[in-house]
Amino acid sequence: MAPPVSVVQSSALRSFAGHTWQSRASPYARVFRASAIAVAVNVAQALPAPPETQPATQPARAAWPMCGGSPARNAVAPPQPIPARWDLETKENVKWVARLGTQTYGGPVVAGGKVFVGTNNGSELRPGITGDKGCVLCFDEQSGTLLWQATHDKLASGSANDWPEQGVASTPLVDGNRVYYVSNRCALVCADVAGFHDGKNDGPFTDEKYTGAQDADFVWMLDMIGQLGVYPHNLAACSPVGFGDLLFVCTSNGVDEDHEKPPTPDAPSFIAVDKQTGKVVWRRNDPNGRILHGQWSSPAYALIGGQPQVFFAGGDGWCYSFEPATGAPLWKFDLNPKDAVWEAGGGGTKTSIVATPVVCAEKVFLAVGDDPETQRGPGHLYAIDATKRGDVTETARLWHVGGKEFGRTIASVAVADGLAYAVDLDGYLSCFDEKTGQRRWRYDMQAAVWGSPCVVDGKVLLGNADGELVVLRHGPTLKELARNDMRHPIYTTPAVANGVLYVATQRFLYAIQTPEGEHATRGN
């Protein structure tokens, strides 16, 4: 099925023009002009200056600046040629390869000529920085050269709050000259995208432990343990989202080490933070003592019928929508059946939410799941009408697939051209009719899947824990295009920008590009 190209391009340009993430940085504009040949036909319709309050629902072609590509978290990229096959051995269609740590969960993001990844220090890339740390690496988009590394020591409390070797599991958010992420120490970090290469130590945070040219320039940090009393269960992992002056973060507040109850139920679960200062603007702890395990989901943001909404998935199995400016509740939806029973270890019928909500066409797509190491159990995937108010569990449920039909998952849904792609931890990728939930097809990934599907160029891309990046045809009939061997497990979601596909395995970051795509980039 050919995607409706004109619609997709218009929306891409609209989001490009109006969305503050991209509009600040000049490199985008340059790339935009270079790629204008492909999209010029739609420029006239596409640039009716939209209101500044409009968040992007899709990434621009020139950037993939956050988890899911845009605040709506719907990993669907505008048209650009992406190869179905490549070969790590011969380097066919491989633009560059960069070494990461040894465990990588903070998927790649791309903006302003840089690529960012959250990983660990297993490869000890920076001379003199040894041992277990959490790291964010910044690479040059064109060459894959390492520009700088943010380094975070492990928490003294160990695996209870900062699991060994897991590194920074947050997928960074890039906004102009700032990059935001949650460190392994449960701190919300704001860093300068230029690192110390601009010759300045931006503050208020100025007492960096590492101050070499290849170290990170932190601007501010919000220590969610020290300042907010949060108890992150095993690891803080949220990928922030933002709009306007605010950042939105799930704190990862969770249960104690014995899995009995949250030791700090009054600490916030969801916060809004001033992007410039790192000051908390509002906080909520709706899941409170009902947190089942951890809170590892990330929020999404969208405009629904003129009302901005920020969506959080709680560790109590509910999805919450709040008014972004104030934190006032708009609606909440319970993803577990009312008679579901929680058992630590995953044996019960009730479970948590790790996946990130995805917004498309005034609907939220979200499924339940827990720590991938817990026992398997019945899953629940929903399409939720985001226009209702109050407890909308009964009224906003548009469709549901679960039980044996769809397992527990930590992956997000991708929605494109009336089709919703959703994958469960067991590795079954389903294509559903976005309106009805009717299944079009199901594909066996033949391995566990943590990452989420990404749609681009008429293809669905998805990595698995056996180190394969599978490429299927985007459409209502199943067609496998390729299973690409990536050598190491993939626990991240691919990103696409400027005609380049970025895939982070546990140990390497690959930039993948067709010869035509390479030609177009050089044309810049």
Partner 1 sequence: MAGRTSWLAAAAALSLLSAVPAWPQWLQWGGPHRDFTCDSTGLADQWPEDGPRKIWSTDIGPGHSAIVTDGELLFTMCRRDDQDAILAYSAATGAKVWETRYDAPPKPDMLLEFGCGPHSTPLLAGDRLFTVGGLVHFRCLDKKAGQVLWSHDLMDEMGASHLQRGYGPSPITYRDLVILNIGGTDTGVAAFRQDTGEVAWKSEKFRGGYPSPMIVKINDEDHLVVALGADRIGLDPATGQTRWRATVDIQLAGIMSSPLFIPPDRVFFSCAYGGGSQLFQIAFKDGQYAAEELWFQPKMKVMHGDSIRIGDFVVGSSGDFGPAFLIGLDLSSGKVLWRQRGFAKATLLYADNKLIILDEEGHLALATATPEGLQVHSRAKVLEEKSWTVPTLVGTRLYLRDNRAIMALDLGRGAGASGSDITEAHR
| Choice between 336 and 374, CB closer to partner 1 | 374
The distance in angstroms from the start CA to the end CA of the chain is: 31
Rounded to whole angstroms, what are the CA distances from 385 to 65, 180, 362?
A: 27, 30, 6
**Smallest distance from partner 1 to CB 355, Å:** 14
Q: Are 476 and 458 in contact (CB under 8 A)?
A: no
Q: Closer to partner 1 by CB, 42 or 234: give it.
A: 234
CB of 205 or CB of 508, closer to partner 1 = 508
Least Cβ distance, residue 85 to partner 1 (angstroms): 19
Residue with smaller CB distance to partner 1, 345 or 390: 345
Q: Quick one: 420 or 425, whose CB is closer to partner 1?
A: 425
Whichever of 3 and 377 has its CB closer to partner 1, that residue is 377
- The CA distance from 252 to 268, in Å, is 9
CB closer to partner 1 out of 3 and 427: 427
Q: How far is CA 381 from the centre of its chain?
A: 18
Distance (Å, whole) CA 71 – CA 248 = 10
Residue 162 tokens, joined: 């900062």
**Minimum separation from the CB atom of position 485 to partner 1 (A):** 10
| Shortest separation between residue 347's beta carbon and partner 1, angstroms | 9
What distance in Å separates the CA atoms of residue 20 and residue 186, rounded to the nearest whole number? 27
CB of 374 to partner 1, least distance (A): 9
Q: Which tokens is 62 given?
A: 């020139």
Torsion of CA 277, 269, 243, 435, to 10 degrees: 170
What values do phi and psi take at 343, rounded to 5? -135, 130
**Closest CB 174 distance from partner 1, rounded Å:** 27
The kind and range of the H/E element at 518 are helix 515-522
**Rounded Cα–Cα distance for residues 206 and 336 (Å):** 46
**DSSP assignment letter at 126:** S
The smaller minimum CB distance to partner 1, of residues 352 and 514, is found at 352
| Token pair belonging to 195 | 């690192």
Q: Is 330 exposed, middle or buried (0-12, 13-18, 19+ CB in 10 A)?
A: buried
Tell the smallest beta-carbon distance from residue 369 to partner 1 (Å). Answer: 10
Residues 6+ apart with CB under 8 A from 111: 21, 22, 25, 28, 63, 64, 65, 174, 193, 497
- Give the contacts of 305 (CB within 8 A, at least 6 positions apart): 362, 387
- Yes or no: say if 368 and 335 are a contact pair by the CB < 8 Å rule: yes
Least distance from partner 1 to the Cβ atom of residue 402, Å: 17
Among 416, 369, 450, 413, smallest CA distance to 166 is for 450
Q: Which is nearer to partner 1, 233 or 363 (CB)?
A: 233
Give me the least distance between CB of 135 and partner 1, in Å please: 15
Quote the least distance from Cβ 300 to partner 1, whole Å.
24
Compare residues 37 and 97 and give the one whose CB is closer to partner 1: 97
Contact footprint for partner 1 (CB under 8 A):
102-103, 122, 159, 165, 257-259, 344-345, 372-373, 376, 425-427, 444, 446-450, 465-467, 487-489, 506
